[in-house]
Chain A
């Protein structure tokens, strides 16, 4: 399904200090196709900082993150990854369709069309609705639809279950399981217990 699913995400000897407080040090991990890396830890333990390092927004104080044997950031990495963070990254004055079209233009087309993705996240019929008229959970589902319409192998998700209802959580879990079954990879943080049957989940506990 995914053309370049032979890549792996690797972190070596990562450390991060914030305001003279060491969040983590000597951290290493490797994520292979079909695997999930779940970051656990209390508030302020550095989960988001680690995710932002993996995104390339922030430079680690020591260590490297590499994708396909090459240290990030590089072109191949950014065309293979997708990020859903605390901020939705969707424009509230635009419609659902306009937002998704922009995401598609900024990346390469993925395996689903916009219509198929909207059906999947149960937002079909909302194409021409302005985002400001959507609820928080619907906005979240829209930013998850973005994962489906663009080409990507690696999903980086910061608390993807926030403001989703029970159905939404089940939906999200099935999408994640499907992504991994197709050779995708996921790095995520979550306070919820995730239930992905049959998927290889690695856990890192930050304290």
Chain B
């Protein structure tokens, strides 16, 4: 199907670009690792305290790492005119934008997911909550990419949109942070976490359906200025 081909072409292009800009692309995951390794050093020899705040640390770092990578989502396409060409495609912009968001998650969200188990052990997170941590990251980081895309699309036309971007996007990230870190914490104490997971799943589905349209509309507005 032609629309699916266009979608995969966008995903493939962005993955190739990420591969050729390796250093830029490794930034979020390096940031994630650095912040998490600094916490034990700052807190000192208090393994109990560290274990208690581990879910929060991991999730806050994941959230900030994603924020850090957001600006690159549409910046280079906006600067070199590729965005104009994407908007002029006969295919629905929202689907093409979803392709870009998918590639963004594959290059920033997925690496976090891969290094998270190691860092969880480092912080002394109980074993029984490790699988829940991975599950919340798998569900939560795509939500961060999707919501973030709307914010970036709105601010990509501004010269210094960084501050506005965080103000726009952070409040929308808070529910994900609350439910995800709460689920990991509860799992650590052996309590059921089905409710939090269900909420995260529903947020992901909603973001998947609702985020691409405003992103496409916001890009059209940004290109206009």
Interface of A with B (CB < 8 Å)? 52, 55-59, 75, 78-79, 81-83, 85-94, 98, 101-103, 105-108
Contact = CB atoms under 8 A, between A and B. Distances in A.
Given A78-B90, A106-B96, A89 B85 contact: yes
B48 interface: no
Nearest to A95: B16
A58 B13 CA distance: 27
Contact of B80 (A52, A57, A81, A92): A92
Given A93-B17, A93-B20, A105-B6, A87 B84 contact: yes
Interface residues of B, number: 27
A107 B84 contact: no
A78 B96 CA distance: 14
Contacts of B46: none
Contacts of A52: 224
Nearest to A106: B89
B161 to A, nearest CB: 19
B16 A94 contact: yes
Interface of B: 2, 5-6, 9-10, 13, 16-17, 20-21, 76, 79-82, 84-91, 96, 220, 223-224
Contacts of A82: 88
A56 B5 CA distance: 24
Given A87-B84, A106-B6, 12 more contacts: A55-B84, A55-B88, A57-B84, A57-B223, A81-B88, A83-B85, A87-B80, A90-B81, A91-B17, A94-B17, A98-B13, A102-B13
A88 B224 contact: no
15 contacts: A57-B87, A75-B90, A78-B89, A83-B84, A83-B88, A87-B79, A90-B81, A91-B13, A91-B82, A93-B17, A93-B20, A98-B13, A98-B16, A103-B85, A105-B10
Please provide the 8 A-B residue pairs with the shortest distance between their CB atoms, ordered closest to farther.
Answer: A87-B81, A105-B9, A89-B81, A79-B90, A78-B90, A106-B89, A89-B85, A93-B20
Contact of B9 (A79, A101, A108): A101
Contacts of B17: 91, 93-94
Nearest to B225: A58
A172 B29 CA distance: 47
Contact of A89 (B2, B10, B13, B80): B80
B86 A88 contact: no
Contacts of B220: 57
B81 to A, nearest CB: 3
A36 B147 CA distance: 44
